[in-house]
Amino acid sequence: MTVHSLGVEVSCDGPDEQTDCPASAAVPIRFGSMTPRQVRADGREDGWTRRRRAGRLVDLCTGCAAP
């Protein structure tokens, strides 16, 4: 049996620390994206943002990133 990596899923960390993303959003799959950095770059192309929250970076979809 051969094992191949299926890539990395990056999902939205929600509008705040206590609330999950209401849409359960994740960055859509792209053919060539296999590393977290590549997937996050795909998300930024779709309007996702990365912010620092409680000392760590979080990924926010367009719905949760809006103030």
Q: In the chain, what are the domain boundaries? A: 1-67
- Rounded Cα distance, 66 and 37, in Å: 23
Are 3 and 46 contacting, i.e. CB atoms less than 8 angstroms apart? no
Supply the pLDDT for residue 57: 93
Mean pLDDT of the chain: 90
Q: Give the total residue count for the chain.
A: 67
User: Of 34, 35, 23, whose CA–CA distance to 60 is shortest?
Assistant: 23
Rounded mean pLDDT, 25-41: 89
Rounded mean pLDDT, 36-56: 93
Supply the pLDDT for residue 66: 81
Q: Is the pLDDT of residue 5 over 80?
A: no
Supply the pLDDT for residue 7: 76
pTM: 0.81
